[in-house]
Amino acid sequence: MKPVPLLLLVPLALASFGFSAMTPQQPPSAQGWRQSQKTGSARGTSYARFTLAGKFLKAPQGDVSNRPAFVVDCAPGSGTRKGKFSAANLLIGTPMKIDYVEPQEIHGTSYYPKISVRYRIDDAKEEEEKWSPGTDKTTAAIPKDWLKKILRAHTVEITAEDDRGSQLEMQFDMPNSPPVEDACNVDDPKK
């Protein structure tokens, strides 16, 4: 048997490690809602965070390493008290176009920053809403009533514009959502 030079084995070993680490990305529907426990920095209280990854049908320009995601935060219940919805956000990962909307009642010269989103739930007709942007303008706050709709959907498609005016299209395959609904008590009529 001929001895194999050690220098030939090292590249082969590195190549095999590199290929095994590069696993194909799973489709969002296979992942479902991921739950994690977080602690708020202001008060030190813990809360449940649910995250659902989606996919871009029409991605933003440039390098966006993350997929879009829904993130829902819920305060835990105690004893017989159910959990409570805290916040829901759409994470986009790129700065969004901000529209300044005139409020219903004007007190001074203030306008509200909003992100215009068009969405389609399952096979229903497309609708449009204006959501509040996050401080970094790469996220949008999802209203609780809208969250109730999407938790019972099968597919959600969202279209919005980035800060360059390019259309972004996102799709979320909605898994069964009872853990999110129960933890956040989304059917509670109070906020």
Asked if residue 69 is part of any domain, the answer here is yes
Residue 116 has pLDDT above 90, yes or no: yes
Write down the pLDDT at residue 64.
65
Tell me the HSE value of 90 on the side-chain side, using a 13 A CA sphere. 34
What is the phi-psi region of residue 32: left when phi exceeds 0, alpha when psi lies from -120 to 50, beta otherwise? left
pLDDT in tens, 6-57: 444 434 433 333 333 333 333 444 568 999 988 877 667 788 999 999 999 9
Residue among 35, 51, 93 nearest 68 (CA) = 93
Residue 111 is assigned to a structural domain of this protein: yes
Task: Specify if 132 maps to a domain.
Answer: yes
62 within a domain of the structure (yes/no): yes
CA–centroid distance for 12 within its chain: 39
DSSP letter assigned to residue 188: -
CATH of the domain at 83: 2.60.40
pLDDT digits (tens, 9 = 90+) for 67-93: 899 999 998 877 667 888 999 999 998
Give the separation between CA 73 and CA 99, rounded to whole angstroms.
Answer: 26
Beta sheet of 69-75, edge-to-edge order: 34-39, 46-53, 69-75, 84-91, 139-141
Q: Are 157 and 28 in contact (CB under 8 A)?
A: no
Burial 43-74 (b: 16+ CB within 10 A, else e): eeeebbbbebbbbbeebbeeebeebbbbbbbb
For residue 8, is it within any domain?
no
In a domain, 70, yes or no: yes
Number of domains in the chain: 1
Is residue 16 one of the residues assigned to a domain?
no
Can you give the pLDDT at residue 6? 43
Domain that holds residue 176: 28-184
For residue 106, being part of any structural domain is answered with: yes
Encode pLDDT of 119-162 as tens digits. 999 999 999 999 999 988 999 999 988 988 899 899 999 999 99
